[in-house]
């Protein structure tokens, strides 16, 4: 059993909603945010020359987030950037290494008893108020996440856990409803919280991670500091970790070049060559899992007709996206599980403008259609949306682009589900269950497309109950045929992700699932 799960885990990566790219450059910006100057290195004690510890100052690492956080409760996050800012506050039972291998975190060890039972033993960890992390906290966390009234993003996946059977303060058993190959991925993403402090999570979080909460200005920054009681006494490496919310890319870039911030998590792909020309800046690139995609409101005209969705699939030029958007540093995709054992050919089509026009005519639109196209104003999705609109126009699919900031886009498309066609991005797991399940199965967390198919739901739910590829494909093969035929969404492509850093920063880690490990980051 352990070997079987390990094989599945090699194709499994952690959850992240929305790619969260940086905003497009704006040459008119002057290096300020909301009328206030960006804090300079000296404001928080950053030492730009020499070792901060030996020179007597605190080591403060400043990281740019491209938008503000809507909450400090990691279980209620919407965007990936919210996870990036909140993960350092929190502790998880297991985590991924940089090589995407599962390793212990709050869980010291575990034993797979059967397909539906896994026993765990906890490390001697504490929350930031000094309380020990116990098995009862794990049980409370699972119950909290599963409770519909709490609005937790992991609720659908957490439903796979039948119960937490507590046997001592440090030992417990997870009992699953049925075999669930993604259980360790789920646990790597489920921050353990305390019932005692759950009521303050939204604005005054008390976690059990390497950094503790200091201050949050909802429009400006999130400030954290080293938690001296962290169970791994070798971490974190810096004294303070501060996230600054800078929506405009040029503002962030100017701050980086001036030394006022230390890290931009996502450098504009078209700016990488230029950044590499600066002596005090370096770049860090990683091939990531995930995809950019187009999604449709399938219960409203014109996309309630599958032929219109198919027309878009034939009209979009995936290959033509790679060079202008990613500067050639990207890959065409047709599903989230391309290049994995679950890859199938049902999704692959070649661009065919005439076929797209024929489908539109069959659907009753011989003169073409005009649609609203919702696009987040980011460094990737913004220009990609404009390029795709040009491509689709060749087939008579005319797009009225509605480009908004990330927060507005997420609220409009994910909360209000007010769109006709949208472009978005998400990290993937190399597994057919995530994020495909969460977007396409009826009632799942992000089932925003107004599309539902009973047989598809049955196959996807049964397929996620097995551990081996062969067993799962008996169900997924049929499910994928339905998905490829009905196309509630269209997978497009993926890029390498590049961060930009000051050259005096060391220990920065980006994982392939678009997660960051800040425990080792520090100035040299």
228-237: string of b/e by CB count within 10 Å (b at 16+)?
eebbeeebbb
Residues 6+ apart with CB under 8 A from 414: 78, 446, 448
Q: How many CB atoms lie within 10 A of CB 6?
A: 13
Which tokens is 308 given? Answer: 């219109």
Give the helix/strand (H/E) hosting 423. strand 421-426
The C-alpha angle 255, 257, 258, rounded to 5 degrees, equals: 65
- 3-state SS, 28-64, equals CCCCEECCEECCCHHHHCCCCCCCCCCCCCCCEEEEE
3-class DSSP state for residue 21?
coil
pLDDT (tens digit, 0 to 9) for every residue of the chain, 524 residues total?
332 333 333 333 333 333 333 333 333 233 334 444 555 544 444 444 444 443 458 999 999 999 999 999 999 998 889 999 999 999 999 998 888 788 999 999 999 899 899 999 999 999 999 999 999 999 999 999 999 999 999 999 999 999 999 999 999 999 999 888 889 989 999 999 999 999 999 999 999 999 999 999 999 999 999 999 999 999 999 999 999 999 999 999 999 999 999 999 999 888 988 999 999 999 998 877 789 999 999 999 999 999 999 999 999 999 999 999 988 878 899 998 887 788 888 899 999 999 999 999 999 999 999 999 999 998 889 999 999 999 999 999 999 999 999 989 999 999 999 999 999 988 776 678 888 998 999 999 899 999 999 999 999 999 887 877 888 899 999 999 999 999 999 999 988 889 999 999 999 999 888 899 999 999 99
The DSSP output letter for 447 is: -
Residues 6+ apart with CB under 8 A from 231: 106, 123, 124, 125, 126
Give the helix/strand (H/E) hosting 482. helix 469-486
Give the helix/strand (H/E) hosting 186. helix 183-187
CB of 259 closer than 8 Å to CB of 58: no
């Amino acid at each position: 059993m352990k070997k079987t799960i390990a094989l599945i885990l090699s194709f499994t990566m952690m959850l992240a909603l929305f790619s969260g790219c940086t905003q497009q450059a704006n040459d008119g910006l002057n290096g300020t945010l909301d009328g206030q100057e960006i804090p300079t290195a000296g404001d928080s004690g950053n030492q730009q020359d020499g070792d901060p510890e030996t020179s007597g100052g605190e080591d403060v690492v400043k990281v740019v987030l491209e938008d503000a956080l809507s909450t400090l409760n990691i279980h209620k996050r919407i965007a990936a950037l919210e996870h990036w800012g909140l993960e350092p506050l929190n502790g998880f039972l297991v985590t991924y290494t940089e090589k995407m291998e599962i390793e212990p975190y709050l869980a010291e060890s575990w034993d797979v008893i059967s397909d539906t039972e896994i026993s765990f033993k906890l490390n001697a960890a504490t929350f930031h108020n000094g309380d020990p992390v116990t098995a009862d906290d794990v049980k409370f966390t699972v119950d909290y996440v599963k409770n519909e009234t709490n609005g937790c993003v992991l609720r659908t996946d957490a439903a796979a856990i039948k119960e937490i059977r507590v046997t001592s303060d440090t030992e417990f058993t997870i009992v699953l409803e049925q075999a669930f190959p993604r259980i360790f991925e789920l646990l790597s993403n489920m921050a353990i919280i305390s019932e005692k402090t759950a009521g303050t999570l939204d604005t005054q979080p008390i976690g059990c991670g390497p950094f503790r909460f200091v201050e949050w200005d909802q429009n400006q920054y999130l400030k954290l500091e080293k938690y001296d009681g962290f169970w791994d006494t070798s971490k974190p490496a810096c004294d303070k970790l501060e996230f600054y919310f800078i929506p405009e890319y040029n503002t962030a870039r100017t701050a980086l070049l001036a030394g006022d911030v230390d890290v931009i998590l996502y450098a504009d792909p078209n700016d990488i060559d230029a950044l590499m020309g600066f002596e005090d800046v370096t770049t860090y690139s990683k091939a990531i899992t995930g995809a950019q995609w187009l999604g449709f409101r399938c219960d409203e005209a014109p996309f309630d007709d599958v032929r219109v969705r198919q027309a878009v699939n034939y009209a979009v030029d995936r290959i033509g996206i790679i060079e202008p958007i990613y500067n050639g540093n990207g890959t065409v995709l047709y599903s989230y599980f391309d290049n994995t054992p679950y890859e199938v050919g049902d999704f692959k089509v070649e661009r065919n403008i005439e076929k797209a026009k024929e489908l539109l005519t069959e659907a009753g639109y011989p003169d073409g259609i005009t649609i609203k196209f919702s696009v987040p104003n980011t460094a990737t999705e913004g220009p990609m949306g404009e390029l795709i609109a040009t491509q689709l126009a060749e087939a008579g699919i005319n797009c009225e682009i509605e480009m908004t900031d990330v927060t507005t886009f997420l609220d409009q498309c994910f909360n209000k589900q007010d769109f006709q066609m949208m472009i978005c991005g998400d990290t993937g797991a190399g597994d057919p269950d995530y994020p495909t399940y969460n977007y396409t199965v009826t009632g799942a967390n992000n089932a925003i497309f107004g599309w539902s198919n009973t047989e598809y739901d049955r196959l996807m739910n049964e397929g996620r109950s097995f551990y081996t590829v062969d067993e799962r494909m008996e169900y997924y093969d049929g499910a994928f045929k339905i998905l490829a035929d009905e196309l509630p969404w269209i997978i497009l492509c993926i890029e390498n992700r590049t961060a930009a850093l000051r050259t005096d920063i060391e220990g920065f880690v980006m994982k392939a699932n678009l997660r960051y490990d800040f425990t080792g980051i520090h100035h040299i």
